[in-house]
Structure 1
C-alpha cells in the first residue's frame, strides 16, 4: 500500500479534510476520499478522523492509498460505427450519450465494452479499464476516436498527441454572436477549486490551446469549428465559456436557459494522424449527427 503525507498549510486552515485530500491528486474524487476516511486509511496526527474534520495549520495527514480493485470488464456486442480498421488501429464514430471507458460502479454499456466484443486485440498500456483508449471525448459529445490495437500503435499515437501533430476538429454551436471570424484561446485549464466535477481556467493549470473559426452566424447563436492543439478535459467547453460564448445545451458550463438537445452541441467531426506502421497520414470525417443538423436548420429559420 502506497503512503502519502501532507502538512496542512495556513491557507488550508479550517478546511474539511476530505476537500483538502481530494485536491492533492486530480484522479481522486471526493466520494472516493470519504470512503478511504471511513475505512480508516487516513490519519491526522496519528488518529483516525471523520470526513467532516476541520483541519488546523501544521496538522500532519498520512494517507494509506489502497490498491485499486481489479475489475472485470466484459465484452458486449454493440453496433459500432467503425470508420477504419486494420491490424494496428481502429477509428470509431462514438454516438452522443455513450461513455468511452468503464469506471468503478459503471462497468457496462461503454465504448470499451463494445470494442472488446468487436476485436479481440486491444493495446494493454492503459490497463483493464481503458484497453486501446488513446484519447477520449465526453459522454455527450459525439464523433471520431482513434483506438490502438497493440502497444506499438498506442505509443505511436500518444507521441503524436504529445507532439500536437494529430488533427482534431470539432463542430459546435455556441450562445452569442462571435464577432471574430478566427481566434485562438490560449488559457491554462485545471480543476475548479470550488467544484471538483468542473474544470476552469486557472493560473496553475495545464497549458491549453484551442483555435476556432466561425462557419455561420445566427441571431443569438454561432456555428463554429474548433481545432484542438492540446487535449485537456472539457477543453472546448471551458474555453468557449471563458471567452463568453458557452456551448448550446451544455449542462455543466452553459447558461441555465439553453436549447435542449440532451447535452452540449459538440461533435468531433475530423480526425487525422500518421499511421504508426505505414507512416502515411490518414484523415477521416464524420457527418454531423441528425439532431445537430436539425438544430442548425431550426436556427437558420
Structure 2
C-alpha cells in the first residue's frame, strides 16, 4: 500500500479505515491514551472523528490495541468494534504482526545490518530503560533487527524491525550501541528537535484483518521536515 492519507480532518491523518479498524498517523506530542498530564489523548480525537463522520449518537466505542511513545510519530491502530479488539490483541501478543520503524541517528552503527539482543530493565521513577548484555534482575529480553537504509549528509537512516516490544526498546538499544536517536535527550542525543519530537517513526504495519482475514499493509507518510524529506 502506498503512502495514502484517507482523511486529514482536524490534523488527524487517517491511513486506513473500515467497519472494524482505523489506522492513523500519530503526530509528535500526541499521547495515545490519557495519562496524568490530563492532555487530550489521540483515542479521544479518533472517537470525535468517528462520531462526527458517522453522526453517531451517544458514546463511541474505540479499543486501544498498542501505543507509541509521546515524542514518536507514525502508525497507531485502533479497534472500532468489540469483536475486533480481542482478535487484534491476540495478533500482537502472538507476534503475528510486522512492525517496521525508521530512525535517524548521528553516529554510524558498527555494522551495515545487525541483530541487537539486550536485557532491558525499566525504571518507573525516571521512565527510562537500561540495557544489559546479560540477564539481570527484573530485566526482559529485547531483540531488534536494524539495517542502514541511507547515509545523509549528517545522519544515517535506519530501518528497524522489532521482535519484542519492550519499554523504549528501540531508543534504549540504539543508544546502547552509541547511536541515540536524533532529538532523544533521554537516551543521550545532545540536542532536542525543535518540536520536542524524536526522529523515530513507525513506518509500516502489516497484519491480518481481524474479521475479514485479509492481509493489510499500511505505510505512514513521514513528518514534514527537511531531514525526513531527504530520506525518500
User: TM-score of the superposition, structure 2-length normalised?
Assistant: 0.81
1:251-262 paired onto structure 2 within 5 Å: 251-257=185-191, 260=194, 262=196
SS at 1:118 equivalent:
helix
Structure 2 unmatched ranges of 5 or more: 1-8, 52-58
Counterpart residue number, 1:264: 198
Q: Does 1:136 align with 2:136?
A: no
1:175 to partner: Cα distance? 2.4
1:105 to partner: Cα distance? 4.3
Counterpart residue number, 2:35: 103
Contact preservation (8 Å) 2:185, 2:191: no
Counterpart residue number, 2:184: 250
2:230 and 2:80 map into 1 onto residues whose CA distance is 41
Q: Does 1:185 align with 2:116?
A: yes
1:83 and 1:298 map into 2 onto residues whose CA distance is 22
1:248 to partner: Cα distance? 0.9
1:1-301 paired onto structure 2 within 5 Å: 78-108=10-40, 110-120=41-51, 131-192=62-123, 195-202=125-132, 203=136, 204-218=138-152, 221-257=155-191, 260=194, 262-291=196-225, 294-296=226-228
Superposition CA RMSD, Å: 2.5
Deviation sequence 1:58-109 (CA, Å, 0-9, x none):
xxxxxxxxxxxxxxxxxxx94411111111111111111211111234152x
1:209 to partner: Cα distance? 1.4
Structure 1 unmatched ranges of 5 or more: 1-76, 121-127
Residues matched between the structures, number: 211
1:259 to partner: Cα distance? 5.9
- Asked which structure has the greater CA Rg, the reply is 1
**Which structure is richer in relative contact order (CA contacts within 8 A, separation 6 or more)?**
2
SS at 1:208 equivalent:
strand
SS at 2:101 equivalent:
strand
Contact preservation (8 Å) 1:177, 1:219: no
Deviation sequence 1:153-182 (CA, Å, 0-9, x none):
111111111121211111111121123121
